[in-house]
């Protein structure tokens, strides 16, 4: 009896151990890590590049169109401010009525402006005064009332041309341009030349269709190499020119009232002269001049 009980207990103990180890084996399998899949890509999908947005807000559509043409960009292309910083020369010659957008052009060295015509009010030219690197300026104006005081903010200018069909307009701001060497004034009737009397640094002066009648305010401009006085029909005496020993080119086209060319005799550097044909005018003071009216003398 005891032998039978011992065998039964051993059997029970053996079965219990088997069940225990079988359960542990199943739990180990349940918690085993899943095998990694092979061949499947783990790279995340590419992030789309955002479309750039312009950092410029244009004020004048005509201005924008000119800039796009300069950059060779179509209407749908994005224009960024850094691209405008690379522009050093700009011509605003078609239909521009507002110059506010010049604030994006800090590196401009040369500017040509011809405002839209006609305008209800004169265009504000003051934005030009903020261009601290500007050296050459060409402005064509139409109508009265333009304010040139912005020129006082541009002492670095070396060349200035103003075409302005007008009468008696204030050009006093020009006299503040101490670095100016080339000046052109066109179609300004009643021009007050006394405003130019102190600009002794000038080497080229173009006074075209300004109806100059006296050169006395210019007699101290002894550094002039070029002097153009086209269509100054009331000009009589050339005496103030006699002291301009550096003069090389003189244009007296349309100056029909010139009395004598004698003041030009002593100008040894004078090589070319344009002058209205006048049979009564003695040309002998020009015997040393190489070219007269474009022809060899």
Average pLDDT over the chain, rounded to an integer = 86
Delimiting residues of CATH 3.80.10.10 domain(s) in the chain = 57-168, 181-297
- In this structure, what DSSP letter does residue 170 have? -
Greater pLDDT, 20 or 68: 68
Compute the average pLDDT of residues 270-283: 90
Compute the average pLDDT of residues 47-71: 82
Pairing mode of beta strands 295-296, 291-292:
antiparallel
Is residue 156 predicted with pLDDT exceeding 60? yes
> In the prediction, which pLDDT does 169 show?
81
Residue with tokens 């060497």: 181
Greater pLDDT, 174 or 53: 174
**Element spanning 160, H or E:** strand 159-167
Report the SS3 class of residue 189: strand
**Element spanning 208, H or E:** strand 204-208
> In the prediction, which pLDDT does 178 show?
94
pLDDT by residue (tens digit) across 208-229? 999 899 999 999 999 999 999 9
Q: How confident is the model at residue 34 (pLDDT cuts 50, 70, 90)?
A: low
Is residue 4 predicted with pLDDT exceeding 60? no
Q: How confident is the model at residue 115 (pLDDT cuts 50, 70, 90)?
A: confident
pLDDT by residue (tens digit) across 130-142? 999 999 999 999 8
Instruction: Specify which of 117-126, 160-169, 288-297 reaches the highest per-range mean pLDDT.
Output: 288-297
Short-list 187, 252, 248, 196, CA closest to 219? 196
What long-range pairs does 50-53 form, CB within 8 A, spacing at least 24? 51/78, 52/78, 52/80, 53/78
pLDDT by residue (tens digit) across 80-89? 899 999 999 9
Is residue 165 within 8 Å of 143, Cβ to Cβ?
Answer: no
Greater pLDDT, 21 or 176: 176
pTM of the model: 0.81
For residue 207, with 0-12 CB atoms within 10 Å meaning exposed, 13-18 middle and 19 or more buried, which class applies?
buried
Cα–Cα distances in angstroms (integers) from residue 39 to residues 43, 46, 297, in the given order: 12, 19, 93
Is residue 13 predicted with pLDDT exceeding 80? no
* CATH superfamily, domain at 57-168: Ribonuclease Inhibitor (3.80.10.10)
Is residue 31 predicted with pLDDT exceeding 50? no
Q: Which CATH architecture has domain 181-297?
A: Alpha-Beta Horseshoe (3.80)
Is residue 6 predicted with pLDDT exceeding 90? no
């Amino acid at each position: 009896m005891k032998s039978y009980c011992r065998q039964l207990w051993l059997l029970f103990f053996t079965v219990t151990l088997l069940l225990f180890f079988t359960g542990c084996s199943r739990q180990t399998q349940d918690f085993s890590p899943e095998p990694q899949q092979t061949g499947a890509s783990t790279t995340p999908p590419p992030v789309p590049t955002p479309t750039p947005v312009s950092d410029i807000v244009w004020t004048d559509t005509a201005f924008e169109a000119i800039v796009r043409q300069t950059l060779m960009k179509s209407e749908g292309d994005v224009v960024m401010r850094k691209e405008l910083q690379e522009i050093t020369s700009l011509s605003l010659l078609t239909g521009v009525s507002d110059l506010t957008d010049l604030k994006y052009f800090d590196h401009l060295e040369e500017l040509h402006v011809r405002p839209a015509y006609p305008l209800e009010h004169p265009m504000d030219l003051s934005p030009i005064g903020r261009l601290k690197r500007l050296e050459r300026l060409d402005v064509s104006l139409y109508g009265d009332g333009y304010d040139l005081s912005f020129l006082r903010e541009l002492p670095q200018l070396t060349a200035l041309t103003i075409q302005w069909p007008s009468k008696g307009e204030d050009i006093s701001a020009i006299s503040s341009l101490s670095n100016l060497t080339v000046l052109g004034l066109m179609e300004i009737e009643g021009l007050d030349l006394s405003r130019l009397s102190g600009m002794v640094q000038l080497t080229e002066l173009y006074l075209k269709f300004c109806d100059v009648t006296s050169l006395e305010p210019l007699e101290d401009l002894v550094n002039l190499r070029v002097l153009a006085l086209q269509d100054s029909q009331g000009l009589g005496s050339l005496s103030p020119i006699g002291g301009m020993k550096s003069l090389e080119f003189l244009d007296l086209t349309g100056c029909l009232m010139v009395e004598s060319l004698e003041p030009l005799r002593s100008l040894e550097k004078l090589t070319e002269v344009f002058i209205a044909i006048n049979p009564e005018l003695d040309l002998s003071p020009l015997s040393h001049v190489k070219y007269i009216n474009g022809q060899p003398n």
